[in-house]
Structure 1
Amino acid sequence: MPEGDTVLQTARRLDSALGGGLLTVSDLRVPRFATADLTGRTVLDATARGKHLLTRFEGGLTLHSHLRMEGAWRVFDQGERWRGGAAHQIRAVLATAEHTAVGYRLPVLELLRTEDEEQVVGHLGPDLLGPDWDPDTALRNLLSDPARRVGDALLDQRNLAGIGNVYMCELCFMARATPWLPVGELPPAIATRLVSTAKQLLEANRDRSVRTTTGATAVMSRRFPRERLFVYGRLGRPCLRCRTPVRKVVHDTRPTYWCPHCQSGPTG
């Protein structure tokens, strides 16, 4: 599942390629909006809200998309060969005189009135990379159900928006708690630090092409110069703290990684 920093970078690419341009091609390949035609409208902007993408057009229309696990938007110069998936995986094509944006495998694609955007993003908690970020509200949301597992609470976009599976695993490792520990059992200082660290990690990676958590600060970068992540994707490899092999469990196609020595709490 793409993280908030990935979605922000996607929004930036779309905005840079299409923003201010007049659409010459509009092709929405989903049954509900297959007849919609945005040709001739100016693209006002493309912006991220948590993991949601909102591309706005003159006339008060917004194209809402969500990448979920497999989706992607690719941007190409005019005449450039499209790359990113098979033709049958294309769900949207938006083009100006200079660039073409192609949406592949988009599980969510809908056209709505701009004034109705809150219907699709209004449920989100404070956005870790957005202007509405509020750490106090995020912390209250995170702790609102003390019995809920830490990992589930972090992934719930209603609590705070932008955390995906990679950051969830990394944050739990940095908090020395397993993802299955009830969030109410976190010491108050650790819970507060969890929120501030989440903000720090996404901010550190918002402009990076390759995500890192071990190099999110200068101190971490010096301590772990050759490793990008602490536990995610490191099944069987030694923990960077204690050298215990990292473990992994998969539930509903979502992999969770953790160190059984460094992280306290129930295991999956």
Structure 2
Amino acid sequence: MEKKEFLDKNGLGTLVTQTRNAISTAKAQAISQAAADADSKVNALGVAVKKYSDDADNLIKTDVIELQEAVWPLAITFNLSPSVIRVGAAATVTASWNVKRKGADVTASSTVKLNNAAVTGTSKTLSITAAQAVAGTLAQTLDITCQGITKRETRNISVVHPSYFGTVASGWSASASAATSNDIKALTLLLNTSRACTRTGISVTNGKIVYAYPKSYGALTSVKDGNNFEVLGSYTRSEVTIDSIVYYVYVLTNPVTASGVKQIFA
């Protein structure tokens, strides 16, 4: 009897065929899975290599930018005018700027943001409302980006209570009265950020020099004349409330007649 006939008669032919097919299918699946795994690993390797390459490129770019910034930094001029305004009063402030790099003006080719808002040109007018004018500082930021380099500059607008300076009659003295407050407010108004103040060309005829400023600035430690002599002891200090703010008021104790006087308050 032939081998094939024997296998077919005993039902083994089908089993052999199925076994061969199963082996063939398993091999195909294994090969397919191996190929898929290889593709996945190749893709993962590609992603890793790209990330490494990108990271390396970014690091190089960062290093180059930092080097350029160190060697040829952005030179920014940023000014506010005026930089001191009065408490509770609306004001107009002009912000101006200029950008240079490697000695060349690059303002026009720079991206500029003033207080996070894009601006063009070299200046912008800022409108400060009375409500915004609260004692303290109003920070103004300027962001410049040029040739891959970004730099920020900050300037402050100082918001202050006024100081006062001038001369009064020989019999005048400071008191807590409304008349004293009004007399002081009639003097020259100054916007000082501290008690330090220098006044020149003072002329007085049988009168007294007066300097008043917010008490929060602290007491004077020195007053010198044009010859650098200490004359603080020639003044009498009082406290007067003006518009709800306590002021130190320094008044020359004895009346004088003089012209071209210089007083350096500190």
TM-score (norm 2): 0.31
Higher RCO (CA 8 Å, separation ≥ 6 residues) = 1
Larger radius of gyration, structure 1 or 2? 2
Higher strand share: 2
In the superposition, the TM-score normalised over structure 1's length comes to 0.30
